[in-house]
């Protein structure tokens, strides 16, 4: 899913269909599906956006930003020099592309969905 408040252009999230708050609550099939989707998403973003690297992480628990009954992976494409003074000076991040542009670029790449 697209991140409504992306850290960087192409920032996507992968979440299980069932709302669970810990990896240990997922079935083996759910865990495998999330890892498969993470790999497919990285491949797609590499093809479409050509990033120079990725930050990939998982939020578990409310204190980590995951909410009370929800865990999710973040996959954030990165480019050398993609940081600037804005997060330090004004606690904001400038994203130079709109979410609708990203959606249009990626739409249909996940098996036509």
Query: Has 72 been annotated as catalytic?
Result: yes
Q: Tokens 């990939």 correspond to what residue? A: 56
Three-class SS state of 2: strand
Q: Tokens 């940081």 correspond to what residue? A: 83
Q: Which of 11, 19, 70, 72 is catalytic?
A: 72
| CA nearest to 20, candidates 58, 72, 65 | 72
What DSSP designation does 23 have? Answer: G
User: Which residues are known catalytic residues?
Assistant: 72
């Amino acid at each position: 899913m697209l991140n409504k408040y992306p850290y960087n252009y192409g920032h996507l999230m992968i979440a299980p269909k069932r709302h669970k708050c810990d990896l240990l609550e997922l079935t083996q099939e759910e865990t495998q599906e999330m890892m498969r989707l993470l790999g497919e998403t990285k491949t797609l973003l590499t093809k479409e956006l050509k990033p120079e690297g990725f930050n990939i992480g998982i939020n578990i628990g409310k204190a980590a930003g995951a909410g009370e009954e929800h865990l999710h992976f973040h996959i954030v494409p990165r480019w050398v020099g993609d940081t600037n003074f804005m997060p330090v000076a004004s606690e904001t991040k400038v994203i130079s592309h709109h979410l609708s542009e990203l959606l249009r670029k990626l739409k249909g790449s996940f098996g036509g969905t």
